[in-house]
Structure 1
C-alpha cells in the first residue's frame, strides 16, 4: 500500500471516529460537519457529489448513515469503505453501551427527566441544520427548489411513504426538471 493510500485511510479513520463521538442524537446531526470536512477541508469531492452519495444512502435500505460507507469507498475504495464505516459506528457504539448502563443505573433520579427534555430540542435543531444544508445545495435552480419545498411539505403534512417521494423525484429527473 502506498503512503498516500495509507494516509487517506488514516484521515478517514480520524474524521469518522471524531464525528462518531460528536453524533449525539444520531448520525444526521453531524451531517453539516461531515459535508464541510469531506468537501471543503479534505477536498475529497464536490458538494454535489456528497449530496448524490447522501441521496443514494437514504434511498438504500439499512442505516441512514450509509453515506459514510459511500464516502469511504469514493475516497479509498473497499478499504476506505471498511475503515470509514468502522470508525463511524465503532466508537459511538462503545460509548452508547457504557452510557446506557449508567443511564439505567439512574433511571429513578429526578434530573434524568429534565436532561431528556432538554436534549430533544437540541437534537431536532441539529437534524434541521443537516436538512437545510442538503436542501441548500440540492436546490440549485428554481425548479429544483420547488421540488425540494414540495417534498418537504409533503413529508411533514402527509403520511406518504418516502419511496413515493423518491420515485416522484426520479420522474422529475427523467423529465429534465432542474
Structure 2
C-alpha cells in the first residue's frame, strides 16, 4: 500500500466530488486531465478502456473514479478514490437537504436550480469532447457525434439506432 498514491487519489477526487453537478459524467474531463495529463497514471487508451468499462457496468457514473483508483493503487486505491468522490458531496447534500426543502419554491432557490442546469450541461459536453479527443477518431468521430446529437435533439429516433449507424460508419471508413 503506497500512502503517497492514496493521498494523491484523495487530493484529486475529493474536490471533484463537489463538482459532480448533473452526475459523475460531468467531471470526466477533469478525471482524464488529472489521470492522464497531470499525474500520468495511465495513457489515453487505458483511460478510454476504464471509461468504457464504467459505462457498461451497472452503477453510478462516478464508477470511473473507482476504476482509476484500482488502476493506480489496487484495492486500497479503489476504496480511497471511491470514498473521495462519494463522501464529501454526500455529506454536503445531506446537510443541505433540510435547508433546501424548507426554502423550496422561493425565488433564490429556483434561480440556483435554473443556473445549475446549464453548468451541468456544459460539464457533460466537456466530458464528451474529452472522450472524443482521447479516442483519436478524427474528423469522422466528431462528425458522427455532432450529427447524432442533432438527430437525437430534433427527432424521436432510438439512440441504439444511432449507435448502430455510427458503428457502421466507422466500419465503412476503416
Same fold (TM over 0.5): yes
Count of residues paired in the alignment:
173
Higher relative contact order (CA 8 A, sep 6+): 2
CA deviation map 1:21-72 (0-9, x unaligned): 2323322222211111111111101122212211111111111121111101
| Whole-Å separation in 1 of the counterparts to 2:75 and 2:3 | 13
Q: Report the CA distance between 1:106 and its aligned residue.
A: 0.8
| Whole-Å separation in 2 of the counterparts to 1:95 and 1:138 | 34
CA RMSD of aligned residues (A): 2.6
Q: What residue in structure 2 maps to residue 121 of structure 1?
A: 118
Unaligned runs of 5+ in 2: none
| Whole-Å separation in 1 of the counterparts to 2:24 and 2:94 | 16
| Whole-Å separation in 2 of the counterparts to 1:12 and 1:176 | 41
Residue 130 (structure 2) aligned to one of 133, 141, 151:
133
Residue 19 (structure 1) aligned to one of 11, 16, 23:
16
Query: Does the 8 Å contact 2:36/2:47 carry over to 1?
Result: yes
4+ residue stretches of structure 1 with deviation over 3 A?
141-159, 164-173, 175-178
Alignment CA distance shift 1:166-1:79 (3 Å): farther
**1:17-166 matched pairs, under 5 angstroms:** 17-145=14-142, 148-149=145-146, 152=149, 155-156=152-153, 157-160=155-158
Unaligned runs of 5+ in 1: none
CA deviation map 1:121-146 (0-9, x unaligned): 12111111111111122243455455
| Whole-Å separation in 2 of the counterparts to 1:55 and 1:10 | 26
